[in-house]
Amino acid sequence: MTILSPSAAAGPLTVSGAPVPIAASSTLVNKLSVKPRLGQWSKVLIGGPNLGADESNAMAVLYPVPNGGQADAFVVQDEGGQNTIDLSQIYVYATIPGDTPMVEAFEYKTI
């Protein structure tokens, strides 16, 4: 049977000074969201392999949420119900090295 399962690539993503891909190798998922981690002060950039730390080629720029309130988020999901989003092609950058934006990803699996 087919289930929508949390991806092993999900969790806090450490960004240490340059844009990093969410996964090192091709990892296809159905849903992806990236949010600044609550209490951290980084602005978070989302983009493709050509994402620049200066916001060039950014798909989304998320503001931090240091003191409460709903965090800004970048969310994309294949509405056709397929695993089509390649995490190795999505890059994340945090303006403060060492910050850890939260990555949520779900993939269809057959069990």
Partner 1 sequence: MNRRELFQKAFGAGAAVVAASVLRGQSASFNGPAGGSRGSTLVTIVTGPFDTSSYPNGVRALTDTPQFATYVRIQAHPGQQGKIAIGNSAMASATGNVADSAFLELWPNWDGTLDNGRSDTWILSDPEWNNTINLADIYVWPEIAGETPVITAFQLA
Residue of 16, 25, 26, 80 interacting with partner 1 (CB under 8 A): 80
Least distance from partner 1 to the Cβ atom of residue 50, Å: 26
Closest to 107 measured CA to CA, from 22, 9, 34, 14:
9
Burial class for 45, CB neighbours closer than 10 Å (0-12, 13-18, 19+)? buried
CA nearest neighbour of 20 among 83, 77, 94, 86: 94
> Contacting partner 1 (CB under 8 A), which of 20, 59, 71, 76?
71
Name the minimum Å distance from CB 57 to partner 1: 25
Residue type, 94: A
Is residue 72 near partner 1 by the rule CB under 8 A?
A: no
How many Å apart are CA 3 and CA 57, to the nearest integer?
34
Residues 7-66 within binding reach of partner 1 (CB under 8 A): 10-12, 30-31, 33, 35, 37-38, 65
Answer yes or no whether residue 97 interacts with partner 1 by CB under 8 A: no
User: Closest approach of Cβ 4 to partner 1, in Å?
Assistant: 4
Tell me the closest approach of the beta carbon of residue 52 to partner 1, in angstroms.
Answer: 26
Q: What is the distance between the alpha carbons of residues 96 and 37, in angstroms, rounded to a whole number?
A: 12
